[in-house]
């Protein structure tokens, strides 16, 4: 039996479908794990510019603390008056 060699992108697609999404086509196509490094490659192709931009925007939102976090971090947490 000869096994077919997969390209790196095809391997990522196979991993995402089988391991992350348990072969559920709907959850694979609508994957919300944008912070995953494999996310833009989940379809087995090079990511589009919009996929990369979407992931970059998500990373910026995660890295930027919210207004509440900024205020509580700067003041040492919430204190009772």
Query: Which ranges of 1-81 would DSSP assign to H, the alpha helix?
Result: 8-15, 25-29, 49-63, 67-74
The full set of domain ranges for the chain reads: 8-74
Q: What is the pLDDT of residues 69-78, one digit of tens each?
A: 655 555 554 5
Spatial separation of the C-alpha atoms in residues 22 and 28, rounded to whole Å: 9
Query: What pLDDT is recorded for position 81?
Result: 46
Write the pLDDT tens digit of every residue in 22-44. 888 888 888 888 878 888 888 88
Mean pLDDT over all residues of the chain? 78
Q: Which of 73, 63, 72, 69 is nearest to 35 (CA)?
A: 63
For the entire predicted model, the pTM comes to 0.59
Q: Which bin fits 77, alpha (ψ -120 to 50), beta or left (φ > 0)? A: left
């Amino acid at each position: 039996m000869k096994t077919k060699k997969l390209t790196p992108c095809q391997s990522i697609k196979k991993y995402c479908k089988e391991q992350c999404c348990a072969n559920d086509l709907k959850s694979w196509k609508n994957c919300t794990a944008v912070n995953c490094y494999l996310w833009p490659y989940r379809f087995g192709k090079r990511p589009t510019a919009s996929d990369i931009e979407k992931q970059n925007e998500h990373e910026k939102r995660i890295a930027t603390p919210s207004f509440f976090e900024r205020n509580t971090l700067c003041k040492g947490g919430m204190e009772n008056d």
